[in-house]
Structure 1
Amino acid sequence: MTDDVDRDDRPPGRRQTPADQATVRRSNLGLVLRHLRDHGPRSRARIAQETGLNKATVSSLVAELTDRGLVSAGELHRGGTAGRPGLIVHLDGATVCGVGVELNVDYAAVLVLDLTGTVLHEEREPLDVPVLGFERTLDEVARLVAVAIEAVGAQGASPAGVTLAVPGLVNSGAGIVSVAPNIGWHDEPVLAGLKQRLDVGCPVRVENDANLSALAEWAMGSEARTPDLVYLTGEVGVGGGVIVAGRLLRGADGLSGEVGHIALGDPEQVCGCGRRGCWETVVGLAALLRAAADPDDPVHDPERDLEARLAEVARRAEAGDERTLAALSAVGTALGSGAAVLINLFNPRVVVLGGYFAVLGRFLLEPLTAELNARVFGPGLAGARVVLSTLGFTAAVRGGAHLALEAVFDDPTLVPLATPDSPTRTEIPS
């Protein structure tokens, strides 16, 4: 690691310029902040030992992070050695937050996390997105975000960023949703539309929902920090996100993860994308409900809360309803077929099932595992485990909030230094 102290032993002409020093200091500030996030409270001496920075540098960095309201010093810690005890440094950042928003076929949700991962605000509302259309849907999304920011502002927190999760192909650089078949969007300028409606004083991004869910699982799920991870989520559509060596696999144009449209489905069934035989035609929520209940059954009613509908499916399965159990078994087998392809392709250490796959996972795991054992090429499922997500339907919004906060961990100087005349609400540059 590189300390941000001036050194006089460089050859002539090789001394760092002030700009270089500022860059190194920003990097080291981020290093200390990330270290506290990933490893918990530490004394300054221990931070120095574990990061490779010298003690004087760590003291200076911690002082600045404290002045920016991102860390605080707590109890004394002697560490079992002679000498003056040190103060334990904690991640703080209650004044900085990330806003995650998710848009799906029949709901919109928002969740706000502070720098420690604490939920400051959460809201979810039913929303018939295909019927509302693009413009009115963005009006509702902007309203949800504005309400959330006002609520956390009353708690003294300012947004570091806003990230919207959308179920479809997203050009995240341009903020354009190329194709989102289940909500009926094609080549929609989502980012531009949001910026017209929001005055939040921070960066706004648009991302694929499954990619954000995969990031959330890697950052804060039950298998957090597993370097090679595949995430599969089932809702109206089916999406996936792949983490390789601790990094999200985006693909050449950021369009990876559309696993629901692999040709592993029923060739007679038309997918929401207009093609036949996509994987989601046999493992998506519509496929499960179609097999488990008649069309007029309440579990098909999109106006009912999704979790309530899934709870009813689970109740019937637990009661031994043969049609429900057969539908779940068929989905589990089909899910195993596709998951085996992904395990053979990416060799992950863990496959995380999210969305409705997690809610009904106890009924899916047995047929899924049997199919994996039959189809995965490597011994012992090639070292992979299948687990159920503990994040529920909040994975995408949590991933969005996490991504928004990454800007602060990358460059803590985005958060202004506290001054006696600082306003209560500070803005992070867009």
Structure 2
Amino acid sequence: MVAMDLGGVGPAHETTDQLAVRRANLSRTLRHIRANGPRSRAAIAAATGLHKTTVSSLVEELLSRRLVRETGLERSGTAGRPGRAVALSPELGAVGIEINVDYLAVHACDLTGRTVVERRVGFDARRRDVEGCLDDLAAAADRTLAELADHGVTPVGLTVAVPGLVDVARGVVVVAPNLGWHDVPVVSRLAAGLDPALQVGVDNDANLAALAEYTWGVAAGTADLVYLTGSVGVGGGAIVDGRLLRGADGFSGEIGHLPVEPVGDPCGCGRTGCWETKVGLAELVRRITPEFAYGLGDGPVPDPRERIAEVRRRLDARDQAALEAVAGIGRWLGHGGAILVNLFNPRVVVLGGYFADLADHLIPAAQAQLTRLAMASPAARCHFVASDLGFTAAARGGAGAVIERMIEVPT
């Protein structure tokens, strides 16, 4: 990328194009600091190719916007006086909230990526109507925004992660089968009760989790990866050449509804034989702990980790039925994974949610099936890895999306 230097152009004489160039230079400066850590103005100028006076002007604006702060002295080279290093500021922050069938997850962080608030609570979306779910989302947002502020971090934006098709531009969840949502205006509903200056967005949970994995996860920086959610529903996010693949209408990633068995079990989407009927958490629970199956009982809904802990206990006890069920799910995981590998040719398939918790049992069978069905040569064949971001990956990605926008559009 060629550096764009504005020199000494004054605000009163800047054209629209010049304003765009300055915004790009502000973003370029922020990205350099994020990638390389605290840097002096001279070091930033040398690395970006921008003129020193331009960098000084850019840094002053970023300081005034509280996007960066000055830290200790840093010497550039062997000659001259050391300059003050510039680092990303911890004063601004972002929130991500994921709503799923049986849990709410929140993640709040500052601009540096430092986690300030993170939690996951049991939640029964199927027993609440849409308005009730939105009320709970709003309450979780209010609480988390207040906690962030209590830690001295000013919230700039919030993104909600939803398991379904999302019209990101309109802020509408078009359909979320497992939640029973259709055409829900999440953004306008939440924004109505929040500070008007706060940026509010909504996106698909798997897309946001894929962005989190690409930024912070076990395969961070891998230019071609696929992320799979492992919850009641199964979704996927694909990073292709370092960018999230959204599709023509922004609806890519509903891979849980790949038809893998046309005469198979009914799915929540109304079709039969979808991949998530073979590998979703509801299927795992039904096969191994049917007494705790989804839809049974009137008490509090168990957190997904509670269900998985019981499955793990039976696996550790070498319960034959449990071992066979997980091996079967692993094979179906490899079956669908092979379709994705043949489509996208990723370097790695990252397993999230319960897939990650049971990766030691799932991956051997899944990898064997992938090896058998994928078309790529052995040298190019990708592999499964377990995420270490847990069930808060999508919430973390939601906060990350806000931070990315702060860096992309610092004005």
| Range class of TM-score, shorter chain | over 0.9
Q: Cα distance, 1:191 vs. partner?
A: 2.2
Of residues 390, 394, 400 in structure 2, which corresponds to 1:392? 390
Q: Which residue of 1 aligns with 2:6?
A: 4
Q: 1:142 aligns with which of 138, 163, 169?
A: 138
Specify the code of the residue in structure 2 equivalent to 1:374. R
From the superposition, tell whether residues 203 and 338 of structure 1 become closer, same or farther in structure 2 (CA, over 3 Å).
Answer: same
What's 2:361 paired with?
363
Q: Give the Cα–Cα distance (whole angstroms) in 2 for the partners of residues 299 and 181 of structure 1.
A: 15
Partner of 2:27: 30
Question: Which residue number corresponds to residue 342 of structure 1?
Answer: 340
The match for 1:405 is 403
- Please say which of residues 258-267 and 356-365 is displaced more in the overlay: 258-267
Match of 2:310 among 312, 318, 321: 312
Greater mean alpha carbon deviation, residues 313-322 or residues 139-148: 313-322
* Paired residue type of 2:220: A
SS at match of 1:151: helix
Corresponding residue SS for 1:111:
strand
From 276, 283, 287, the counterpart of 1:280 = 276
Residue 64 of structure 1 and its aligned partner are, at CA, apart by 2.3
CA drift of 1:299 comes to 12
Instruction: State the Cα distance separating 1:30 from its structure 2 match.
Output: 1.1
Gaps of 5+ in 1: 8-15, 414-430
Distance in 1 separating the partners of 2:410 and 2:385:
35
SS of residue paired to 2:269? coil
Match of 1:219 in 2: 215
Return the offset for 1:117. Answer: 0.6
**Greater mean deviation of Cα atoms: 37-46 or 396-405:** 37-46
Counterpart of 1:116, as a letter, is T
Taking a change above 3 Å as real, the CA distance of residues 83 and 169 of structure 1, as seen in their structure-2 partners, is same
Task: Provide the C-alpha distance between the structure 1 equivalents of 2:330 and 2:152, rounded to a whole number of angstroms.
Answer: 46
CA contact (8 A) 2:102 2:123 kept: yes
Between the aligned partners of 1:219 and 1:348, the Cα distance in structure 2 is 16
Aligned residue number for residue 423 of structure 1: none
Aligned to 2:173: 177
Please state how far the C-alpha of 1:300 moved relative to its aligned partner.
7.5
Distance 1:303 1:266 in 2: 31
Shift of 1:297: 7.3
Q: Deviation of residue 383 (structure 1)?
A: 4.0
The CA deviation at 1:338 is 0.7
In the TM superposition, what is the alpha-carbon distance from 1:253 to its structure 2 partner? 0.8
Letter in 1 for 2:129: G
Cα distance change on mapping 1:297 and 1:178 into 2, 3 Å: closer
Q: What secondary structure is seen at the aligned counterpart in 1 of 2:221?
A: coil
Q: CA deviation at 1:381?
A: 6.4
Instruction: Give the conservation status (yes or no) of the 8 Å contact 1:265–1:280.
Output: no
**Which amino acid in 2 is paired with 1:404?**
V
Cα gap change, 1:233 to 1:381, in 2 (>3 Å): farther
Partner amino acid, structure 1, of 2:393: A
Q: Which moved more, 1:67-76 or 1:176-185?
A: 67-76
Amino acid paired to 1:169: L
What TM-score does the superposition give when structure 1 sets the normalisation length?
Answer: 0.89
1:296-311 map, 5 Å: 303-311=301-309
Farther-moved stretch of structure 1 (94-103 vs 231-240)? 94-103
* Distance change in 2, residues 1:385/1:163 (3 Å): same
Q: Which runs of 5+ in 2 are unaligned?
A: none
1:263 aligns with 2:265: no
Report what 2:183 is aligned to: 187
**Paired amino acid for 1:39:** N
Mark the CA change 1:211 to 1:360 in structure 2 (over 3 Å): closer, same or farther: same
CA distance in 2, matches of 1:65, 1:17: 18
- Aligned to 1:31, what secondary structure does the other structure show? helix
**Structure-2 separation of matches of 1:221 and 1:297:** 31
Structure 2 CA distance for partners of 1:240 and 1:296, relative to 1, 3 Å: closer
2 CA distance for matches of 1:53 and 1:80?
Answer: 17
Aligned to 2:327: 329
Cα distance in 1 for partners of 2:397, 2:390 equals 12
Q: Is the Cα–Cα contact under 8 Å of residues 266 and 281 in structure 1 kept in the other structure?
A: no
The separation in 2 between residues aligned to 1:293 and 1:283, in whole angstroms, is 15
1:373 to 341, 346, 371: 371
String of CA shifts for 1:373-405, please: whole Å, max 9, x gaps.
Answer: 101111126342321111111110011001112
1:126 & 1:91 partners in 2: Cα distance? 34
Q: For residues 292 and 260 of structure 1, what CA distance do their matches in structure 2 show?
A: 21
- Which range is displaced more, 21-30 or 353-362? 21-30
1:304 Cα deviation after fit: 1.7
1:30-86: CA deviations, max 9, x gaps?
Answer: 111111112222232322222221222222222222232222232333355222223
Tell me, yes or no, if the aligned pair for 1:265 and 1:281 is still in contact at 8 Å: no
Q: Secondary structure of 1:352's match?
A: strand
Report deviation, 1:247: 1.1
Indicate yes or no: 2:160 matched with 1:158: no
Distance 1:265 1:277 in 2: 4
User: Per the alignment, do residues 268 and 384 of structure 1 end up closer, same or farther by CA in structure 2, a change over 3 Å counting?
Assistant: closer
SS at match of 2:129: helix
- Using structure 2 for the length normalisation, give the TM-score: 0.93
Give the partner amino acid of 1:378. Answer: A
- Structure-2 change in CA distance of 1:297 and 1:128 (3 Å): closer
**Paired residue secondary structure (1:234):** coil
Aligned residue in 2 for 1:427: none
What is the SS of the residue equivalent to 1:387?
strand
- Superimposed CA distance per residue, residues 263-309 of structure 1 (whole angstroms, 9 cap, x where no aligned partner): 11472311111111000111111111222233357997771221122
Q: Quick one: distance in 1 between partners of 2:264 and 2:382?
A: 32
Quick check: 2:331–2:369 contact (8 Å CA) kept in 1?
A: yes
- Rounded Cα–Cα distance in structure 2 between residues aligned with 1:64 and 1:397: 30
Match of 1:56 among 50, 53, 57: 53
Does the CA-based 8 Å contact 2:348-2:385 persist in structure 1?
yes
Give the direction of change, closer, same or farther, for the CA distance of 1:79–1:315 in structure 2 (3 Å limit).
farther
* Match in the other structure for 1:353: 351
**2:295 & 2:181 partners in 1: Cα distance?**
26
- Counterpart CA distance in 1 for 2:293 and 2:259 is 29
